[in-house]
Amino acid sequence: MTAAPVICFGQQPCGFFPRRFLVAKIQTARRLQKEIGGEIIYFCHDSDHDPRETQTILRHRKTNEPAQLNFAFPNRVQRKFSPQYRKQIAAGWQDKTALQLPNYVGHPLINVFKTISTANVADFCLEIYRGMGLLDGIRVVRSSDPAVRRAACDVPEFFVDVPFEGEVVRARFVKGAFQLHEGGDSFITLSQAAFSREQISPTRDTRLRWMQSVVHCTHYVAGPGETAYLRREETPEITFINRDTIERSDEAYTEI
């Protein structure tokens, strides 16, 4: 018997209201599911540490001018180096942001925003997406899940979640050492320490193979940026689908 299709798309949490390119991936996956059946998996790479990923671009309802909003973090180390599932949301950020939102979105979405009570960035984003109805019927697989990390294959290039200045940071493992990228040609080298599979997450170039060893998808919905670096030859069993085009793809999607 032929196994049922498994349709997957991958993305970091990308804004407390999701960027429109993520919604385009979801819409593409749902359309494909109607055509061929099977289940949809959202591979949520909440191990990513780049704070720019959660930048949320909203348009002013009167002037149409764009505004860039993002989470506030307790300290610089968390903001710059901690993975999203470990980045804590600074006290007062949610209430302060809720006061600004009427300039950009309607009350139904503001009400969803106000109901979220999670403490970290990744959980907050996922709960917003669920509250908007975007993830109905979609199975979420998170790269931070210890069970996922234990089940994943070995990859030659990876990051390790390690302690640094009282926080957990995502450090690149390079030639037996942990490195944090400060920017440009500047790196911080951390002390060597033993680590386990539960601390490992893949790099951009090894993410597809690592993910596929866990989700075993038959179809993968990819955006234009992904197609430039995905190593398709490593997963010949996957049929790749280009996501639907969408206008203002980097801006936030604000419909329920």
Find where tokens 């203002």 sit: 248
Asked whether residue 249 is domain-assigned, the answer is no
Phi, psi (deg, nearest 5) at residue 121: -65, -50
Q: Which domain holds residue 55?
A: 6-148+214-242
Give me the mean pLDDT over the 149-177 stretch: 96
Asked whether residue 177 is domain-assigned, the answer is no
- Closest alpha carbon to 246 in 228, 217, 229, 221: 221
Give me the mean pLDDT over the 206-235 stretch: 94
Please state, in angstroms and as integers, the Cα–Cα distance from residue 32 to each residue in 38, 151, 205, 224, following that order: 9, 27, 26, 18
Asked whether residue 169 is domain-assigned, the answer is no
pTM of the model: 0.95
> How large is the angle between the packed helices 93-100 and 107-115, nearest 10 degrees?
180
Strand pairing class (138-142; 177-183): unpaired
Could you read off the pLDDT of 45-99 as tens digits, one per residue? 999 999 999 999 999 999 999 999 999 999 999 999 999 999 999 999 999 999 9
Residue 2 binned pLDDT confidence (cut-offs 50, 70, 90): low
- Average pLDDT of every residue of the chain: 96
Residue 227 binned pLDDT confidence (cut-offs 50, 70, 90): confident
DSSP assignment of 75-134 equals SHHHHHHS-TTTPBPPTTHHHHHHHHGGGTS-HHHHHHHHH---SBHHHHHHHHHHHTTT
- Of 12-16, 152-156, 225-229, where does mean pLDDT reach its minimum? 225-229
Asked whether residue 191 is domain-assigned, the answer is no
Say what the pLDDT of residue 110 is: 98
Asked whether residue 24 is domain-assigned, the answer is yes
DSSP 8-state assignment for residue 149: H
Asked whether residue 167 is domain-assigned, the answer is no
Could you read off the pLDDT of 106-162 as tens digits, one per residue? 999 999 999 999 999 999 999 999 999 999 999 999 999 999 999 999 999 999 999
Query: Is the confidence at residue 201, as pLDDT, over 70?
Result: yes
Asked whether residue 129 is domain-assigned, the answer is yes
Exposed/middle/buried for 116, CB within 10 Å: 0-12, 13-18, 19+? middle
Say what the pLDDT of residue 192 is: 84
Query: Is the confidence at residue 199, as pLDDT, over 70?
Result: yes
Asked whether residue 16 is domain-assigned, the answer is yes
Name residue 159's beta-bridge partners: 172, 201
Q: How many domains, in total, are found in the chain? A: 1
Percent of the chain with pLDDT over 70: 99
